[in-house]
Amino acid sequence: MRTFSNFVNGRPVDARSTFESKNPANGETLGLVPHSTREQADAAVAAAREAQPAWAARSDADRQAVLIKVADKLRDNAELLATWITREQGKPLGGVGPEQVPGARFEAWACEAWTRVPASLELPPEVVFEDETRRDEVHRKPLGVIAAIAPWNWPLMIAIWQIVPSLRAGNAVVIKPSEYTSIGTLEMVRLMNEVLPPGVLNTVTGAGEVGAWLVDNPGVNKVMFTGSGATGAKITAAASKHLTPTTLELGGNDPAIVLPGAPIKAMAMNLFWSAFLNQGQTCACIKRLYVHESQHDALVAELAQLALAMPMGDGMQPDIAMGPVQNRMQFDKVSRLVDRARSDGATIVCGGEPMPGPGLFYPLTLVTDITDGAPLVDEEQFGPALPIIRYRDIDDAIARANRGDAGLGASVWTSDVKQAKAIAQRLEAGSVWINHHGAVHPMVPFGGAKRSGWGVEFGIEGLKALTRPHVISVKK
């Protein structure tokens, strides 16, 4: 059984104890992952602090060139990384159907793409005021050391979202991957360290306490976290001790509203994948689908036909569309929410019962005759179960969509884009998509409203969030 290593100051680091990383499709142990100690977490931060000034002192062009080499390294090893994503996270290796719906190979490619785009961005000084008496410029300086805590659903891609803009801005990074999906991240960081200067990118692995040690370290200058609201609240409280700023992406429970008259046959496939991409384990997936009563039954029939046709199984096998739920905790949550809906009188259109065998397979499940207030509607299920809710009045649908504390994404589906834009203005979410959902882009800011977090990632705004403004004012 192979034991994988962390990387600190450019060198592999082992730990006194390890834990198993398992394949959710069959329960197979994939390898042993070090459980970092607090001393090792502190050492990783210290290594980052030591390496960061020299990295920041390099020219923008130099840092950009290094990151382009990192992108090349990720491209050249994309199949290795994609294989680890499938084995450890569960999503199918390849794309599905003529649309090539994203799988693990897409995630590996996205790691390359989300490296090249930030590497291409510029943050030149901005002249914010000038008259005959003075000239004021805003320059951008790195923050220092970024502690990044990544999730298990898109383990490598979201890690790259945290790592690469931080490095581009001149920071150094310590990243803790999810304990459920550590090996792929360790392999990716190993490859990146073949290009990066020692100490600029470091890893620690383990359960939640390891991330807490990073947050509690006064040598950390910012925390980036993607995960649950409960953990985000703990991070916020701990970071306040040292006045450490944070960027938090805390999930969604995203609503989608299908307006009357929408071309549902043409939109059904897009709606389906907007809900069930990555087995529904995506922060910005549709989690609640509001459909006008005039088209509710027809759309349910279209979605059920798609759900029943999607082959589910080990993502390393060919022609698999749906993989397992990634971990037992999430599997049990989905089961509990669906069982509760059934006991409360909802209709299970398809799915609704765990599949037998060692893997964590839960069938695609559509639930109707359910409304707001039901746990399956009000809680973010983060899995392959979609509540579909009738509505009669559009104002009522908007009010329902805005219920609750979540506000990551939302979408409106219609042939009337003008009407959709007006509705989008009323939806309380960081991003509102029209006739698609969850379509993030490396140049478009992405972040949540309400209790879905704060701060933004991607593009110029995301890059600025990893710097501090430095004003130089000249009297003429």
pLDDT at 95: 65
Let me know if residue 442 belongs to a domain: no
Number of separate domains in the chain: 2
Write the CB contacts of 443 (distance below 8 Å, at least 6 apart in sequence): 117, 458, 459
The span from the CA of 423 to the CA of 425, in Å, is 5
Under DSSP, is residue 456 helix (H, G, I), strand (E, B) or coil?
coil
Same domain, 319 and 368: yes
pLDDT at 251: 85
Same domain, 258 and 230: no
Same domain, 213 and 326: no
Let me know if residue 440 belongs to a domain: no
pLDDT at 97: 54
Same domain, 380 and 422: yes
The alpha carbon of residue 54 and the mean position of all alpha carbons in its chain are separated, in whole angstroms, by 30
Q: Which residues of the chain have pLDDT under 70?
A: 95-101
Is 79 catalytic? The answer is: no
| φ, ψ of residue 29 in degrees (nearest 5) | -80, 125
Same domain, 69 and 172: yes
Task: State the residue range of the domain holding 192.
Answer: 6-250+450-475
Give the CA count within 13 Å in the CB-facing half-sphere of 207.
5
Q: Which long-range contacts (CB under 8 A, 24 or more apart) does 370-374 make?
A: 370/341, 370/344, 370/346, 372/400, 372/403, 374/340, 374/341, 374/344, 374/346
Let me know if residue 216 belongs to a domain: yes
Same domain, 463 and 424: no
Under DSSP, is residue 227 helix (H, G, I), strand (E, B) or coil?
coil
The alpha carbon of residue 42 and the mean position of all alpha carbons in its chain are separated, in whole angstroms, by 26
pLDDT at 94: 83
The span from the CA of 145 to the CA of 6, in Å, is 18
Helices (H), ranges, 77-128: 78-89, 104-120
Crossing angle (nearest 10°) for helices 296-309 and 264-276: 60
The span from the CA of 386 to the CA of 337, in Å, is 11
pLDDT at 102: 83
The span from the CA of 124 to the CA of 398, in Å, is 41
The span from the CA of 94 to the CA of 348, in Å, is 30
Write the CB contacts of 238 (distance below 8 Å, at least 6 apart in sequence): 212, 215, 216
Same domain, 166 and 229: yes
Nearest C-alpha neighbor of 49 from the set 142, 122, 115, 140: 142
3-state helix, strand, coil in the chain (%, to 5): 40, 20, 40
- Per-residue b or e along 142-172, where b marks 16 or more CB atoms closer than 10 Å to that residue's CB: bbbbbbbbbbbbbbbbbbbbbbbbbbbbbbb
Same domain, 91 and 51: yes
Nearest C-alpha neighbor of 324 from the set 359, 358, 357: 359
Let me know if residue 260 belongs to a domain: yes
- The CATH number covering residue 212 comes to 3.40.605.10
**What's the one-letter identity of residue 362?**
Y
- The CATH number covering residue 312 comes to 3.40.309.10
Nearest C-alpha neighbor of 372 from the set 399, 407, 411, 343: 399
Same domain, 272 and 401: yes
249, 302, 380, 457: the active-site residue: 249
Same domain, 217 and 332: no
